[in-house]
Structure 1
Amino acid sequence: MRKLIVANIISLDGYYEGPGNDVMALPYHDAFDDYNAGRLRAAGTLLLGRGTYELFQGYWPSIADDPSKAPVEREISRLLNAIDKVVVSDTLTQARTAPWPNTEIVSRADAHARVAKLKDAPGKEILTFGSRTLWHDLLSAGLVDELHLMIGPAFLAGGTPVSADGSPVRLRLLESRPLPGRHLVLTRYAPA
């Protein structure tokens, strides 16, 4: 059975993005890209919500060939370009997935069944970045195996909290450690 792993960065005061949906307000450091590249190497499928998919699609495809970008960013771009992507959306159309033709669109109503089927299939991990609404729904449905939160050294004092409306979910700590550079703390959780 494949694991579904959610990886995200949050501020010290628990925000998923800054005011005005500004994801760049988060306290990114080099270890963030290094960790995400490692997660992508271990994954066979990337599961995203529409908003995160469109954000990634607008930035990552061309980075692979951009010599001005860091090697880890170029690697992430190559990995994202190659990986199978599943997007949960009721509004995204196949025509809007270019330049990522290896994208499957799944309706919200079919998301739980599709994720369960992905988990039962052989292969590498299923990975979710961003996609807060999606992963909260999947966590409440018992479909998330691990939650990897990178906590950064910043108080945003506003924005979108990592917690979402819905049922409470108890977690158990698997690991907590500083990432290289000691700017981000990785906390890994599993449903209790």
Structure 2
Amino acid sequence: MSSVVVSTLVSLDGYVAGPGGDISRLPMDGWFDALNLERLRAAGTLLLGATTYRQMAAYWPAVAADPTVSPAVQLDPSVADLHRETAQRNAELPKVVVSDSLTPADTGPWAGTTTIVRRADARAAVTALRERAGADVLVFGSRTLWGDLLAAGLVDELVLLVGPALLGAGLRAFPDGIPAHLRLRDTSRRPGSDSVLLSYTVATRSS
């Protein structure tokens, strides 16, 4: 069976975005980029909501062609290979997008690797993804999507990079009404970063 792994950056006060969905106030250091690539290497499928998909599809194809267009690479050219590989893996991985608004015309350079699933069919589609043998089903961003999946018992792991920022308002990582029992798998830090990585198993799948 495959595991659905949610990997997200969260502020110390529990927000995954600021007011209006602004993610620029979240502390995205080099460790964040390295962790994302590590997760992509372990993934067999990307599972995304429409907003995150559109953001990624608008950004990463250009980085695959020329990593120097990435602001992070402009600040530190030594991370060019990391960003190039991230862009390539984002492009190559099969992507399942849950959306009632996205159309094939919106998939652009990722048309050949993208499957659109309507919201009414999302839980059944994710159940099918979990039940097949293979690598991780990886969720980046897509808070509305994974919140629904967590409530339905369809998330297996939560990987939270807790950043040293207090946003005060915005999109909460865990809104009311989503119960889940978590087991801590690991905690880690990286020299030079003030973030803390927390990895949890969601105790919903029967053994």
How would you bin the TM-score normalised by the shorter chain? Answer: over 0.9
- Aligned letter for 1:150? L
User: Which residue of structure 1 aligns with residue 44 of structure 2?
Assistant: 44
Measure, in 2, the Cα distance between the counterparts of 1:140 and 1:175. 23
Tell me which of 99, 106, 116 is aligned to 1:105: 116
Post-superposition offset of 1:67: 4.1
User: Which residue of structure 1 aligns with residue 81 of structure 2?
Assistant: 71
Tell me which of 101, 106, 122 is aligned to 1:96: 106
Measure, in 2, the Cα distance between the counterparts of 1:59 and 1:118. 26
CA contact (8 A) 1:5 1:145 kept: yes
Measure, in 2, the Cα distance between the counterparts of 1:154 and 1:45. 30
- Aligned letter for 2:157? E
Tell me which of 122, 126, 135 is aligned to 2:133: 122
Measure, in 2, the Cα distance between the counterparts of 1:45 and 1:67. 23
Post-superposition offset of 1:73: 1.3
User: Which residue of structure 2 aligns with residue 190 of structure 1?
Assistant: 201
Measure, in 2, the Cα distance between the counterparts of 1:185 and 1:167. 23
Bigger shift: residues 69-78 or 81-90: 69-78
Q: Deviations over 1:139-167 (max 9, x none)?
A: 11111110000001111112111112433
- Aligned letter for 1:100? W
Percent identity (aligned):
51
* Structure with the larger helix share: 2
- Report the number of matched residues: 192
SS class of match (2:10): strand
Q: Deviations over 1:6-47 (max 9, x none)?
A: 000011111101122111110111000101101000101000
Measure, in 2, the Cα distance between the counterparts of 1:184 and 1:127. 21
- Aligned letter for 1:82? E
CA contact (8 A) 2:150 2:178 kept: no
TM-score computed with the length of structure 1 as normaliser: 0.95
- Aligned letter for 1:110? D
Measure, in 1, the Cα distance between the counterparts of 2:125 and 2:90. 20
SS class of match (1:24): coil
The yes-or-no answer on 1:56 pairing with 2:56 is: yes
User: Which residue of structure 2 aligns with residue 35 of structure 1?
Assistant: 35
The yes-or-no answer on 1:162 pairing with 2:173 is: yes
- Aligned letter for 1:56? M
User: Which residue of structure 1 aligns with residue 145 of structure 2?
Assistant: 134
Measure, in 2, the Cα distance between the counterparts of 1:41 and 1:138. 23
Tell me which of 175, 181, 189 is aligned to 1:178: 189
CA contact (8 A) 1:64 1:74 kept: yes
Structure 2: tracts of 5 or more residues without a match: 74-79
Bigger shift: residues 169-178 or 72-81: 169-178
Relative to structure 1, the CA distance from residue 157 to residue 110 in structure 2 (aligned partners, 3 Å threshold; closer, same or farther) is same
- Aligned letter for 2:178? S
Bigger shift: residues 16-25 or 80-89: 16-25
TM-score computed with the length of structure 2 as normaliser: 0.89
